[in-house]
Chains A and B, each alone.
Chain A
Amino acid sequence: MAEFLIETMGFPAWLSWTAIAGLSAFLILNVIAGGALVFIWAERKIAARIQDRLGPTRTGGRFGWLQSLADGIKLLAKEDLMPDGADALLFRIAPYVSFCASFCAFIALPFAFDVVGQRLNVGVFFVVAVLGLEVFGVILAGYASASKWSLFGAMREAAQVVSYEVPLGMCVVVPVMLAGSMDLVTIGEKQAGWASNWFIFHDPFTFIIFWVYYTCALASVNRAPFDLAEAESELVAGFHTEYSGLRWSFFFMAEYGSMFLVSALAAILFLGAWNGPIPVSQLLGLSDGMAANAPYALRLLGCINLFLKATAGVLVMMWIRWTLPRLRIDQVMTTCLKYCTPIAAAMFAGVMLWQLFLPGGLIAGSFQNAAGVREGWLEQSNNQDPDNEDALSDILPSRRIVEVSR
């Protein structure tokens, strides 16, 4: 887009890049904000249905479509409260830190092939790292609130999120290993075709690791049964006890944004990204399956695909929240350190061995592929390409593997 502006329209480069960045940011912000509104509404409706209630029925028609918007307006109109002993600056900053972390991670998240704020060759790394920053907002909020309950919430969040980053990282590395790239777009591309190409069905280890990832994702976005940071029956409201009005709603948006983000990440890493279970477009001859030159309509379909998958993930999170009791802090840590981390590590090793001996999977795996791996490694070690545009792909040999085995 920016190149188009520069070359065709003759705009100065800095202006074009800024304009496009602004446009991307605007679009992504709307996706988060709009998504949060829809998800908050959906959560209320789903919770209500699970609990034999109706949920909102009046605001904006029969199904209460506008309930979240009405709530938003109410929150805007609320008094801006701050406790007496609060650290004013940190107290004000905290919600934005949380929200920004959640929002920034969306920059590298592709919604369909090349429909991405900024395609990064270290996309996975970026998303996971930036998402981890959300905890800073929570810690700041807890620390600055001058409330003991908030402090408890913040400390719990710090302990929990930092611990769960470990197994989460291990789970995330597996699709990276399979795709041979940290670029989320490439990872998505690699899963094109039938549903059997999805990484979750790649081998038994990835199937298990998907569930480990989902558990860790639940914990890292503070959803029940891991919602210890706000545990309303213990800590009143945890880290956001003292927050109200718009600031509180930023925490809320960040939470729902992160929920969508980790679900979308799960869809991209394991559930075939924007590719449907049946390669309709490929069967109809509309694209070559790699979607590199896919027309915009197909990309839009891809977006819908990804949204559906991510929404399914979010809905399951809601379902879990309204069903299960909350774990205790020691049990949360046990789950992480005694179960998630070892399982993730074992599955990681399993996938590694599988890749070594059956790189193409059980069915398609062949000796030719295995040979290709070896050749790829050899070629790489012998021939260091100086003008490689992608520095990180140098370290990861698989791009070459694909070329060789073709």
Chain B
Amino acid sequence: MSQILDEDQRIIEFDVRTDEMLVNMGPQHPSTHGVLRLVLRTDGEIVSEMEPHIGYLHRCAEKIGENLTARQWIPYTDRMDYLAAMNMNLGWALTVEKLLRYQVSEKARHLRVLITELNRIASHLVGMGAYGLDLGTFSPFLYAFREREKLLDLFEEVCGARLTYSYITVGGMTADLPPGWLQRCEAFLDQFEPVIREYHTLLTTNAIFVKRTANIGVLSPEMAIDYGCTGPVLRGSGVDIDLRRDGESIYTAMYDGYAFEVAVMKNGHYPRDHEYPAVPRDAVLGDCWHRFFVRMLEVVQSMDLVRQSIDRYSQCKGPLGEPLKLAEKLPAGDAYLETECPKGQMGFYLVSDGTSIPWRVRARSSAFSNLAVSPELCRGCLIADVPAVIGSLDVVMGEIDR
């Protein structure tokens, strides 16, 4: 067996001697979440080895950032994690603001919390719905998209776009909220809250769903840290890290005064355990079920944060503040900042030589590190578990390939 694994892949593929089969899953495959290519070495239904191949969506985003001013690069961050474009905008905007030592107005700060947490809900809805799709159930996907559509309507009202918002920008926001928006947002939250119970019925507590996800792709906390996993993947393994609480001060200052509990299992319990379905017996900390469940909890947590930010935002007097000039000169130096995006910790690195155009721009993708652990999780699992594991990591190729 080990001898076979050591041989050249090409020999294996064309050699009839072995029982193993080399299968390409992707880049055009229904459940690889975009253009991810997985090369599986299978022995019947059992996957003996899995290797992700990336780069099909590479668009030189980082290099482009070195030819544009900092604010001009905002639309390119939209296209990284296109499911959570607001959070991407925020990450870059805060990085530039960190270099500039600029602080946005109090009103803009609460608006940023409000809009990024809403986007976190939208992103987790896609993650959840697509996960159902990976496991072969179609309806929850559409139930998730139904709610996401309403969120996108809200986003469309504030910035005119439904996917690539470019709403948060360096030094503030591109525009203030339209009149009556907060009421509509609250109305959405009120009608969305009971819908989450539907999701729990159809997925979280569904017997087949539990069978497919519990004790599958178990990621130990040590391995999660070793591979640099972040976000719900890390918290699903029981590691209590959330940059909104533990991050750099420029980021955590945004959440000053907000009350929220990090969605992570501590002493065998999730925060506010009683409101949610009980953890199934078969589930092991760090398996697909827990990663999924952490996302579901974060949806509720984000709703809570949105409600708090609506209060704070409406209490704020004074103007929102104008964003910085398009060609604002950056001070010479560098800045790196990681923010807690829906998929994990997204980091932006900026080196400036004193002009308005950054000298170097780099992004640290959370989904990249999260995907890197997938070969470990898929070793020895069944073919059907591969989509289950990849789906539970909730990768977005736009962010991995940049």
Least Cβ–Cβ distance between B70 and chain A, in angstroms: 41
Contact bitstring B119-155, A, C-beta under 8 A = 1, else 0? 0000000000000111111110011001000000000
B139 with A51: CB separation less than 8 A: yes
Question: From A235, which residue of chain B is reached at the shortest CB distance?
Answer: B383
B137 with A326: CB separation less than 8 A: yes
Q: Which of A314-334 contact B (CB under 8 A)?
A: 322-331
Question: From A233, which residue of chain B is reached at the shortest CB distance?
Answer: B31
A325 with B208: CB separation less than 8 A: yes
Contact bitstring A148-168, B, C-beta under 8 A = 1, else 0? 110010011000000000000
Q: Which of A218-237 contact B (CB under 8 A)?
A: 224-225, 227-228, 231-236
Complex Cα distance, B139 from A322, in Å, reads 6
Least Cβ–Cβ distance between A334 and chain B, in angstroms: 9
A323 with B142: CB separation less than 8 A: no
> Per a CB cutoff under 8 Å, which of A50, A228, A233, A325 touches B209?
A325
The answer to whether A389 has its CB under 8 Å from any CB of chain B is no
Contacts of B401 in A (CB 8 A): none
Contacts of A51 in B (CB 8 A): 138-139, 142-143
B212 with A53: CB separation less than 8 A: no
The answer to whether B206 has its CB under 8 Å from any CB of chain A is yes
Segment among B4-12, B109-117, B384-392 that sits at the interface with chain A: B384-392
> Per a CB cutoff under 8 Å, which of A52, A148, A232, A235 touches B142?
A52
Given A324-B206, A328-B212, A234 contacting B137 (CB threshold 8 A) = no
Complex Cα distance, B212 from A331, in Å, reads 9
Q: Which of B47-81 contact A (CB under 8 A)?
A: none
Complex Cα distance, B203 from A227, in Å, reads 18
> Per a CB cutoff under 8 Å, which of A47, A149, A233 touches B136?
A233
Least Cβ–Cβ distance between B219 and chain A, in angstroms: 19
Question: From A224, which residue of chain B is reached at the shortest CB distance?
Answer: B136
Contacts of A227 in B (CB 8 A): 136
A52 with B143: CB separation less than 8 A: yes
Q: Which of A22-76 contact B (CB under 8 A)?
A: 47, 50-53
Contacts of A155 in B (CB 8 A): 44
Contacts of B23 in A (CB 8 A): 148-149
Least Cβ–Cβ distance between B149 and chain A, in angstroms: 10
B138 with A322: CB separation less than 8 A: yes
Contacts of A328 in B (CB 8 A): 211-212, 382, 384-385
Least Cβ–Cβ distance between A275 and chain B, in angstroms: 35
Contacts of A236 in B (CB 8 A): 29-30
Least Cβ–Cβ distance between B116 and chain A, in angstroms: 28
Least Cβ–Cβ distance between A335 and chain B, in angstroms: 10
Contacts of B185 in A (CB 8 A): none
Least Cβ–Cβ distance between B104 and chain A, in angstroms: 39
Question: From A231, which residue of chain B is reached at the shortest CB distance?
Answer: B136
Contacts of A233 in B (CB 8 A): 30-31, 133-136, 387
Given A51-B142, A51-B143, A325 contacting B137 (CB threshold 8 A) = yes
Complex Cα distance, B30 from A325, in Å, reads 16
B382 with A324: CB separation less than 8 A: no
A326 with B138: CB separation less than 8 A: no
A323 with B137: CB separation less than 8 A: yes
Q: Which of B136-193 contact A (CB under 8 A)?
A: 136-139, 142-143, 146
How many contacts A-B (CB < 8 Å)? 80
Given A52-B143, A52-B146, A152-B383, A326 contacting B30 (CB threshold 8 A) = no
Contacts of B383 in A (CB 8 A): 152, 234-235
Question: From A50, which residue of chain B is reached at the shortest CB distance?
Answer: B139
A233, A235, A236 — which one has the most chain B CB atoms within 10 A of its CB?
A233
A148 with B30: CB separation less than 8 A: no
Given A233-B30, A233-B31, A236-B29, A325 contacting B132 (CB threshold 8 A) = yes
A330 with B31: CB separation less than 8 A: no
Complex Cα distance, B147 from A52, in Å, reads 11
A326 with B136: CB separation less than 8 A: yes
B44, B143, B211, B384 — which one has the most chain A CB atoms within 10 A of its CB?
B384
Question: From A53, which residue of chain B is reached at the shortest CB distance?
Answer: B142
Given A51-B143, A326-B135, A234 contacting B206 (CB threshold 8 A) = no
Contacts of A323 in B (CB 8 A): 137, 139, 202
Question: From B133, which residue of chain A is reached at the shortest CB distance?
Answer: A233
Complex Cα distance, B45 from A225, in Å, reads 18
Complex Cα distance, B44 from A152, in Å, reads 8
B135 with A325: CB separation less than 8 A: yes
Complex Cα distance, B86 from A387, in Å, reads 86
Question: From B384, which residue of chain A is reached at the shortest CB distance?
Answer: A328
Q: Which of A151-188 contact B (CB under 8 A)?
A: 152, 155-156
Least Cβ–Cβ distance between B238 and chain A, in angstroms: 25
A234 with B31: CB separation less than 8 A: yes
B31 with A325: CB separation less than 8 A: no
Complex Cα distance, B135 from A233, in Å, reads 7
Question: From A326, which residue of chain B is reached at the shortest CB distance?
Answer: B136
Complex Cα distance, B208 from A329, in Å, reads 12
The answer to whether B241 has its CB under 8 Å from any CB of chain A is no
Given A234-B383, A325-B132, A330-B382, A225 contacting B208 (CB threshold 8 A) = yes
B30 with A225: CB separation less than 8 A: no
Least Cβ–Cβ distance between A231 and chain B, in angstroms: 6
A152 with B209: CB separation less than 8 A: no
Question: From B206, which residue of chain A is reached at the shortest CB distance?
Answer: A325
The answer to whether B21 has its CB under 8 Å from any CB of chain A is yes
Contacts of B139 in A (CB 8 A): 50-51, 322-323
Contacts of B203 in A (CB 8 A): 325
Q: Which of B6-46 contact A (CB under 8 A)?
A: 21, 23, 29-31, 44-45
A325 with B212: CB separation less than 8 A: yes
Least Cβ–Cβ distance between A148 and chain B, in angstroms: 5
Complex Cα distance, B385 from A10, in Å, reads 67
Least Cβ–Cβ distance between A36 and chain B, in angstroms: 21
Q: Which of B373-402 contact A (CB under 8 A)?
A: 382-387
Least Cβ–Cβ distance between A46 and chain B, in angstroms: 11
Least Cβ–Cβ distance between B380 and chain A, in angstroms: 13
9 additional contacts, CB 8 Å, given A51-B138, A225-B136, A326-B135?
Answer: A51-B139, A51-B143, A227-B136, A234-B387, A323-B202, A325-B136, A325-B203, A326-B137, A330-B45
16 contacts between A and B (CB under 8 A): A148-B23, A155-B44, A233-B134, A233-B136, A322-B137, A323-B137, A323-B202, A325-B137, A326-B384, A327-B208, A328-B382, A328-B384, A329-B382, A329-B384, A330-B45, A331-B211
Which 6 pairs across A and B sit closest by C-beta, in order of nearness? A326-B136, A233-B31, A325-B135, A325-B137, A51-B142, A328-B384
